Amino acid sequence: MILPHGKDSSKQEIISSDKAAELVEKGWHKADLHVHTCCSYDVLSAESMHPEKLLQKGRARGLDFITFTDHDTVKAHDIMGWKQENLIPGVELSVTDPLNVGHTVHINVFGFEREQYAEFQAMANQENDIYSLIDYFKSNELPYIYNHPFWFLRGDIPNIPAIPELVKHFPVIEYNMQDLNQKNLLTMELAQKYGKGIAVTTDSHTGSIGKAYTLAKGDTFHDYFSNITKGRSCMVIDQPVLKHITGELDSWIELAFSMGKDIREEAGFTTGMRPFDRLLRFLGSDLLERNPRINNGTRSLLHHISGSGLPALMYMLSKQPQVSRISRLINA
């Protein structure tokens, strides 16, 4: 296990949920710090993805702190109210900085007021300077995380050498269950090198809140997050990334079929992957609506294909050349 240099490395490790239960009894708290609701542009507006439903699910799964980090919107928190017990305001901020970075960077920010969100969102949209944003977070004592450092927006040209420099300016780096294991290991290597905390997240877009989570002490969210930055935390992962991505795909199929023809009204929705967007349009077609047998057969077939793990495996294999290039540049 790779551990951050200079941290309390006796605590920061990957553990099973059985071991986590022992720490929970000793007063440790858990949170999944990257979760999307139907308020995100890339999440289907199924009833089960409503913030209220996900809040209930998160509490049922024993999360002590729950936060919704939708893409560049706090609509979920507007819906739920900003003073819900243990519901921590959060957002996944998209930052484009052509001068310092070159590719889009995603940052999760937590614990802010509505007015603060308006301020730093305007900075992200207008100034295009990631370091001025970081200065804002620091001066306002807002917790923030560098999300999936080696994920790149389709169409972006990755600036790999800029990533280690960025890592230096973040208190916590994300171990993302939607990303390849090799990328997560590279992330952990950078965290070790620069003495940063690590938090594992589901980054779920299908309601899998809390299937992986970060465990740390802290009766308040700021204390909890502070312990993660100091390496006094554990990452709770019970299944490999391949199985997690397979589960996400299977849940996505179920959500799509649960909506039926209502998918047609999902203006602006995209999965970020053209084959799945085309599949989505097919699932909302009149053909399936008019033919229950075809509908059920298609549903069963897609679940069978997804459950085999083959689509997830093909996706992971397609990213191997990118992983090799990243590894060479990072280790050069």
pLDDT digits (tens, 9 = 90+) for 2-38: 333 344 443 468 999 999 999 999 999 999 999 999 9
* Alpha carbon distance 224, 221 (integer Å): 5
261 falls in which pLDDT band (50, 70, 90)? low
Structural element, H or E, at residue 37: none
User: What are 274-306's pLDDT values in tens digits?
Assistant: 666 666 666 655 656 667 777 778 778 877 888
pLDDT of residue 260: 65
Name the DSSP class of 99. T
Can you read off the two tokens belonging to residue 1?
């296990």
Lowest mean pLDDT among 160-169, 224-233, 307-316: 307-316
163 falls in which pLDDT band (50, 70, 90)? very high
pLDDT of residue 3: 37
User: What are 133-151's pLDDT values in tens digits?
Assistant: 999 999 999 999 999 999 9
pLDDT of residue 4: 37
Check pLDDT > 80 for residue 57: yes
CATH homologous superfamily for the domain 14-239: Metal-dependent hydrolases (3.20.20.140)
The residues of the chain that CATH labels 3.20.20.140 are 14-239
3-state secondary structure of 160: coil
pLDDT of residue 94: 97
Q: Where are the alpha helices (DSSP H) in the chain?
A: 17-25, 51-60, 75-80, 114-126, 130-139, 162-167, 181-194, 221-229, 241-259, 274-283, 286-290, 292-307, 310-318, 320-331
Check pLDDT > 80 for residue 220: yes
pLDDT, the chain, mean = 88
pLDDT of residue 10: 37
Which of the pair, 68 or 258, is modelled with greater confidence? 68
Lowest mean pLDDT among 2-11, 123-132, 175-184: 2-11
